[in-house]
A and B are shown apart, each in its own frame.
Chain A
Amino acid sequence: MTNRVGIVEVAMTSGAETKDYFLDQVFKISKEVLDKSGITRDDVGTVISASSDVFHGGMSCANSYYWDAGAAFLKNGSRQDGESLFAFIYAVMRILTGNYDTALVLGVCKGSENPENDVLTHFFTDPFYQRQMGLNETIAAALQKREYMDRFGITEEQCAGVVVKNLKNALGNPYAHVKKKVDLDEVLASEVVMDPLKSMECAPKSEGIIAMVLAKEELAKKLTDKPVWFKGYGSSIDGFYLGDRDLLEGELPNAAKRAYDAAGIKDPRKEIDVAEVCEPYAFQEMLWCEDLGFCGRGEGGKLLESGATAADGDIPVNPSGGVLAMNPYVSRGLYRLAEGFLQIRGQAGERQLDKQVNTALAHSTHGFAGQCHAVAIIGS
């Protein structure tokens, strides 16, 4: 199949928690993206959403609730659980088969209606062993960070540096949840949550309802002067028990290789203009940068210190402020993609990078210490 798939438009809520009624929020964002794209609900071919019952205000069969609010009434659609980049790629697949000309992709997570994320991630565990030990995502991340420091000499200052960089970037992002200028000392002095993790190194719990219109090549060109094209995708999953895995040699290199191969990328550091990387815990940004091939193993800290991943560096990472500034668990993959889309289109406002952005990488992860990863590449 040689047909290309283009992203036509994006609409999204801010990450700040609100008392808005959930269905109103979903309806508003779906309508906004259709209006921006210049199409009506009748023109929508298929609707693929991402949500997770466990991150859905205690509602089961999550997509039942927002099906019609999300413009899917009497449409053919489906839903991916846990990861919104899965929904994106499923919509791409559906267009590539030729069955549909357009797709609406939704990512839905209303953080304000959920308990703390870790109450929910605790239920990723098996009931016989890991649950009895109280495991959750923050504990897994703390164990991973300790190994990262012990084995590769990553420092507390470097981890805190990620927070300072990303929250600075978030100041220019109207959709960000945490907007606060912080310095290294503040991060280092923040309260210990799960040693060695401190509170400011951990992402918040945020609202995040996001919609994207995709279209086949000819139609995308008709609908917008600036379509952004799907270039490549890869995902990979690691084993289940934390103790069976090497927490520093995970599955992200596999996922990235699949995406790079599909997009024809040989030197990611050179060929990617901006990367939006999912870092619910600050140190993970450095580890994932290594996995994505932006630097060698153990060099994530040096990469950060060199300024390469800053907004004015040669490989800017998380100009949006990343997940540390906004963390709607399930939707965060699509938010990464949306930032890449806006940067390529030159529509990122105050945080628009001071260079030509042709190729963007969006990464997302879910599960303990990055059990599952997904990477998407888009470009002009």
Chain B
Amino acid sequence: MGRPVAIIGSGQTYHGRRFDVTYPELVKEAVDALFEKTGISPDDIEGVVSGTMPSMMEGVALTHFYFAEVLRSVGKPIMKTETCGSTGISLAFTGYYWVASGMADLVLVVGSEKMNEGDSQATMTTVVEPFYQRYFIAGAPGVFSMQCQEWSTRFGIPEEKVREAATRITIDHHNDAFDNPYAHIKKRLTPEEVNNARIITYPIRLWDVCPNSDGACAMIFASEEMVKKYGLKPAWVKGVGYSGEEYWFGDSEKAIWQCAIDAAKQAYNMAGITNPRKELDVAEVYNPFTYQEMLYYECFGFCDFGEACDLVLKGVFSREGELPCDPSGGTLCTNPIGATGLNRVAEAALQVTGQAGDHQIPGAKLSLAHAMGGVDQYNGVMILGSKK
């Protein structure tokens, strides 16, 4: 489908509370890192895709105006993609389609977020319309807590087991984060600390939730010709999938989550994957909440429905397991929302090109990147491979 497209480089910023820089300066950090690493000249870029979360979160509207210079886009064609929390992966799709369509050979894609300048949960309530649901939604955790409850009761998973598995996930990822130089929260946690942490929205506790991070991620999508020209290690785009559901939370089931299932299916079909757990070497699943990560394992066909907790406790998805998930620490440790999905793609690309450093999964050849957005509304999946 379309021309072959590869990611030939990425740049990330350090994450955290970045009050040391303005927003454009933060974006510049990621873009400069990318050009420095790849040696590609910004002049050779034919198009730029920019994206963030909505204006209300940014405190600046239509941020591509504000970032024009640091994106190196002045005088160039530009696109501005935004799909709520899934913005990052939607940015990657835009870069992919731009090159795959033949309309450009070298496209720069940049996602960014400065979450700490605004009130992220206050802005989240404006995702919800003012006629009905705005009065009831307690920011993002409220929605995801309800989804977690729906999932665990739907499959009769005992509360203690869900807790135990979630605790394992958060301890592992916060350990993994030490091996990722760009991760925000790095911490050695004990089960007691996690289990006794304060409740955010029941059953979700503090360490089940991602942080607010400031950061940016930049990436280059290239045609086959450009892959040859620059001689950089390519991560080929093997499959793309995205799906969205109804606006109203409550209109459809979120345990057997159709848009997540569909997004993965589209991407697997394109990539020719029939047994994801076996064929994939590593997955960067968007995990803003511990519980959700397990739900995704099931929706993406890594295991059967209701089975994820058991497998997590057996270590199937940990760093040395059969299908390592989020060796970067994932969204749980680093969440600059408008960039988070793109970080997942960048990490998946680093893995299949053997450039992930201390968190490299040895010999990884096929990886999955994922992001989610809206009020539990969107999911997007991209499959990357070391071979065309």
Contact = CB atoms under 8 A, between A and B. Distances in A.
A240 B68 contact: yes
A67 B79 contact: no
A62 B65 contact: no
B245 A54 contact: no
Contact of B81 (A1, A60, A78, A127): A78
Given A64-B374, A236-B78, A239-B74, 4 more contacts: A1-B3, A67-B374, A124-B61, A126-B66
Contact of A54 (B62, B97, B373): B62
Q: For chain B, what secondary structure do more than half of its interface residues adopt (helix, strand, loop), or is it mixed?
A: mixed
Interface of A: 1, 23, 52-54, 58-69, 72-83, 86, 89-90, 92-94, 96-99, 120-121, 123-128, 233-240, 251, 254-255, 258, 366-368, 371-372
Contacts of B61: 52-54, 120-121, 123-124
Interface in B239-255: 240-247
B76 interface: yes
Contacts of B93: 78
B127 A74 contact: no
B79 A86 contact: yes
B99 to A, nearest CB: 9
Contact of B243 (A61, A63, A76): A76
- Residues of B in contact with A, size category: 35 or more
Contact of B78 (A59, A93, A123, A372): A372
A127 B245 CA distance: 36
A98 B374 contact: no
Contacts of B80: 80-83, 86
B26 to A, nearest CB: 13
B75 A77 contact: no
Interface of B: 1-3, 22, 24, 51, 53-57, 59-62, 64-69, 73-84, 90, 93-94, 97-98, 100-103, 123-124, 126-127, 129-130, 240-247, 258-259, 262-263, 266, 373-375, 377-378
The A interface, classified by DSSP as helix, strand, loop or mixed, is: mixed
A60 B126 contact: yes
Instruction: Pick the most buried of B68, B243, B246: most chain A CB atoms within 10 A of its CB.
Output: B68
Contact of B65 (A99, A124, A235): A124
A75 B243 contact: yes
Contacts, number: 201
A61 B245 contact: no
Contact of A239 (B69, B103, B123): B69
A80 B259 CA distance: 20
17 contacts: A59-B127, A60-B55, A61-B53, A61-B374, A64-B374, A67-B247, A74-B258, A82-B62, A83-B80, A93-B98, A94-B97, A120-B61, A124-B66, A236-B77, A237-B76, A239-B69, A251-B75
B2 A66 contact: no
Contacts of A74: 243-245, 258-259, 262
Contact of A124 (B60, B123, B242): B60
A72 B126 CA distance: 21
Given A73-B246, A238-B74, A61 B127 contact: yes
Contacts of A82: 62, 64, 80
Contacts of A64: 84, 127, 247, 373-375, 377-378
B94 A98 contact: no
B23 to A, nearest CB: 8
Contacts of B83: 61, 63, 78-79
A55 B51 CA distance: 17
A182 to B, nearest CB: 32
A372 B65 CA distance: 8
Residue among A23, A54, A97 having the largest count of chain B Cβ atoms under 10 Å:
A97
